[in-house]
Structure 1
């Protein structure tokens, strides 16, 4: 690997001259600059990013912290692929790179963040899988490291954040199902401490109250937000004495396992159990009946998240002063066939 010293020796120029030529400084004549750039390409020159970072005091890098198996990025979910594209679109305008910092499911998220901060491998971070009370915010504040969050928390203070409208999704889903004749509506929420679970559950409670329905802890099912979690939820539904006629799922991936277990029991999703899921993903196109769920613009979400981060970086803050400090991101209902009116179910059963 050719570094700047080897390049300078090859050209018989000083390191300072080569450095200024590579960085486009005006005090290097055009002929020398062209000669340096040509040699750099031929010899495979690789800049020493660590040295540059030390001199600048920055890395020009933003870290997106993900926890393996967290409730938003698990298994085949495409959520973060779309968000990352939008993030990179916003950051590359200012020549900032995005790196993924993956916290193992076996490592404490607070310890992981402390290690990343101590190494100073990024200039700012984006936190995900926020908890109701999250110690990571204090870690970043003590380190004077800018950050934004994808998710809300009671510990946020004045930090910038974006979150999906979990309450609105759950509340409107209950109202939709109630209007279709359902009176016993279950809900599946994550079995982890991410704050999206309590938010979704609160929206579910509000929806029940809007419709004059009682809250029943016996049909609140806690599970992993995965195919396996959906299978487990279906097991619990089947074992419930007063079986619900409808269910809300916090993640669409759960529908795969739920459909499978219902089928094993000789039941049909939609006909025997109405289903609405929190968010659309590619898997929904291959489910029968097609799942009723919610859609959002992941690319736009990622761009907004990037702009929020830029508004917290001193170098770029002035250009992003109109970016909001917090935003609940809306989702659009995508109607499928998995939540038909209850009277349709009864008609199908009688015809059968």
Structure 2
């Protein structure tokens, strides 16, 4: 069985340099790194995970706590996010530990138990609230973490986010260019930071187009297909006129399309519909849904890179990723 010294001899470097490459922990020239990796592959060298972890007092495990509330475990967006995180972890020889928590108040106890038990080296936070108690708790305890999202005022902590405000502004401009002037908007509860940013994008998009903001066109609902259906149905029953609709999530948009079909109004012909996420089923609906794609692979890689920097004690800069408007037949 090959050892780290065998790899060092084959690559013509010191064992310390091989260790730097394996742990991604020191300055190594690109050509030297390539030589070491080639030697590792040629010799079939596999570092002993337990020994490495014991030496560094690390578990090489990323902690992700999923709320088991009304949409998360069944929401295709979160399944895509977990898939992207799993791929990114594999690229860095990390494990992903997924824990579930029904009670948000129990999140903090679960965080402490997993970290103090050395089950994880740090956490990924999702579903951020505008005032999220997990942030000050982790900061006070000195626990490394990265957030997928922001809080009110952004805050000084490592985060990666998708620019929901810019995305919805683009969606509004896209609809205005096609002659729409009465654009309805379905939003999740504004306690979620992403919902707040996306609603701001709707407001700013209307202002940039010189259109008035009409509260009757805005509906706040749970971020589910059923809630999107009920919100759109209420607009139709109340007789609120609109020729286009933007939903802050694809699931809400799909529910709205169902309500339109039932009312005899054809999405993409009578009413333009745009969603946000680009979940797999968005391309399979009737008609296929125009939506703002969250680039999941890019998000997963950015989150894990930022997490690794936080675990190393660095202060990684925030990352704001732009969504991509995917034009299909619904708008």
- TM-score (structure 2 length as normaliser): 0.77
Tell me what 1:124 maps to.
Answer: 122
Cα–Cα, structure 1 residues 266 and 156, in superposed 2: closer, same or farther, change >3 Å? closer
Aligned-partner SS, 2:277: coil
Higher gyration radius (CA): 1
1:60 Cα offset (Å): 2.6
8 Å Cα contact 1:133-1:155 kept in structure 2 = no
- After TM superposition, the structure 1 = structure 2 runs for residues 86-235 of structure 1, keeping only pairs within 5 Å, are 86-104=84-102, 107-108=103-104, 110-120=105-115, 121-154=119-152, 156-191=154-189, 193-235=191-233
Count of matched residue pairs: 286
Could you say what secondary structure the match of 1:134 adopts? coil
The CA distance in 2 between the partners of 1:282 and 1:275, in whole Å, is 17
Aligned to 1:338, the other structure's residue is in SS state: coil
CA distance in 1, matches of 2:70, 2:197: 16
- The alignment yields a C-alpha RMSD, in angstroms, of 2.8
Contact (CA 8 Å) 2:217, 2:240: kept in 1 or not?
no
Match of 1:295 in 2: 293
The answer to whether the Cα contact below 8 Å between 2:216 and 2:240 also exists between their aligned partners in 1 is no
Which residue number in structure 1 is paired with residue 319 of structure 2?
327
Question: Secondary structure of the equivalent of 2:311?
Answer: coil
Rounded Cα–Cα distance in structure 2 between residues aligned with 1:118 and 1:87: 22
Measured after TM superposition, the shift of residue 94 of structure 1 is 4.7
Asked if 1:283 is matched to 2:311, the reply is: no
Any unmatched runs of 5+ in structure 2?
Answer: 6-47
Which whole-Å deviations, capped at 9, do the CAs of 1:157-186 have from their partners, x for residues lacking one?
Answer: 321111111101111111111111111111
- Which residue of structure 2 lines up, in the alignment, with residue 5 of structure 1? none
| Partner of residue 274 from structure 1, selected from 272, 275, 282 | 272
Partner residue of 2:329?
337
**Aligned pair in 2 of structure 1 residues 127, 70: CA closer, same or farther (>3 Å)?**
farther
CA contact (8 A) 2:63 2:124 kept: yes
User: Counterpart in 2 of 1:243?
Assistant: 241
Query: SS state of the match for residue 124, structure 2?
Result: strand
